[in-house]
Amino acid sequence: MLWLWNTSSREAYPDERLERSANALNSEKIMQSLTTTLYPTSVSPPSLDLYPLRQTVSSVLSPPTAGYNRRGMASRGESASFKPLAARQTSISGDGDGYCTLVDFAGYGGGGANVGDDLVVLLYHLQHACKRIASLVASPFNSSLGKLSVNSSTGSDRDAPKPLDIVSNDIILSSLRNSGKVAVMASEEDDTPTWIKDDGPYVVVVDPLDGSRNIDASIPTGTIFGIYNRLVELDHLPVEEKAELNSLQRGNRLVASGYVLYSSATILCVTLGSGTHAFTLDHSTGEFVLTHQNIKIPPRGQIYSVNDARYFDWPEGLRKYIDTVRQGKGQNPKKYSARYICSLVADLHRTLLYGGVAMNPRDHLRLVYEGNPLAYLVEQSGGKASDGKREILSIQPVKLHQRLPLFLGSVEDVTELESYGDVQQTVNPGYEV
């Protein structure tokens, strides 16, 4: 209750009109706080002069529907409609007072990369699929899906796909079909690639939902993807053969790659060939907003990420490395800490920001769907990716579901680890290789 002070009688008494006015004012402030999105980054919040840009982009880029293809986006005309606006009113360089969405960023050149309109359209549809997966993962009505299994010949029972994996896979496949820009999609959930369109300019490899077996424990999950150019020299081959060969390209031929982290925030981290950048999903607008531009992984960290429970299965070199850095007796005099989520995307995301090394020393992770896309992303941020002996991007895949050890992180940390020689685990892999 609010009170008025009577100066003549020097007494206070309640005033209902002031109470009603104060309640109305408080309600208005509360509503404003609920509808205001904060961007705790170097990118400033949107100003009023950006709203025409948002309306223009959203009117051109309406949510994809079945049959939505290049005619709906007018191939090259679409990018021409928003590139000038993005150039004038978004803050890709961080010097303006605007903010930047993923589509704006890619359409304006992706931080300096020569990104064509076809890739912009593809990224638009791919990010739309990931928004749907983010909603699916967070839905209480789908939590039971993570507990079920589906028969598959691609891995062990422990790694067998769950219905949630299959639904995520279907969502991505549908979006790629609608884009009209993809020739073939190869997925960790499928035994063979799916041929989509003869003249699609791109090849997409994807792990639709990495870490889904932890979904009912609310542990972070992620989507991993890589994008290659279609090999036109293979167009004369039968569909099955050219689909597989297009999907087995070496990692150093990637055009773009990235991951989407589904956690307390939904973050899309991507490289278009010129640096690594992260975009956070703004749930009030449905847009991925640039929050981490040009990520540079520290040259050395103080964290290692690995399943310590397998310590006695590790080779001598890996045990010696871990023992050394934990005691602060390595090249870095500081003692290292262990941080392990058992979610590849989450462990790598932390490593990108803080430095160190994330690893799985077993022949466990798939080169095509996980190793190559993440290695490209790490190298574009100034880090290093290795199987313990070779650079990941230099390895020629020979099978779609080929597995290998994976060491990702700071250049100095990964290089120091490799110097111990025997770091690849061959004992007790935990499944049939």
Catalytic site residues? 159, 165, 188-189, 207, 209-210, 370
Whether 208 contacts 364, CB under 8 Å: no
Secondary structure (DSSP) of 92-108: TTS-SS---BHHHHHHT
Angstrom distance (rounded) from CA 88 to CA 140: 42
Tokens of 97: 């007072």
- Look at residues 400, 375, 401, 377 and name the one whose alpha carbon lies nearest to residue 390: 375
Whether 187 contacts 169, CB under 8 Å: yes
Rg (CA), the chain: 25
Whether 115 contacts 109, CB under 8 Å: yes
CB atoms within 10 A of CB 66: 7
Angstrom distance (rounded) from CA 187 to CA 171: 12
Phi, psi (5° rounding) for residue 145? Answer: -65, -30
Task: Please write down the long-range contacts of 149-158, taking CB distance under 8 Å and 24 or more positions apart.
Answer: 152/189, 152/191, 153/191, 154/188, 154/189, 154/190, 154/191, 154/401, 155/401, 155/431, 156/430, 156/431, 156/432, 158/213, 158/430, 158/431
Secondary structure letter of residue 30 according to DSSP: H
Residue type, 222: G
- Look at residues 235, 222, 243 and name the one whose alpha carbon lies nearest to residue 172: 222
Burial 268-303 (b: 16+ CB within 10 A, else e): bbbbbbebbbbbbbbeeeebbbbbbbebebbebbbb
Whether 374 contacts 348, CB under 8 Å: yes
Whether 219 contacts 343, CB under 8 Å: yes
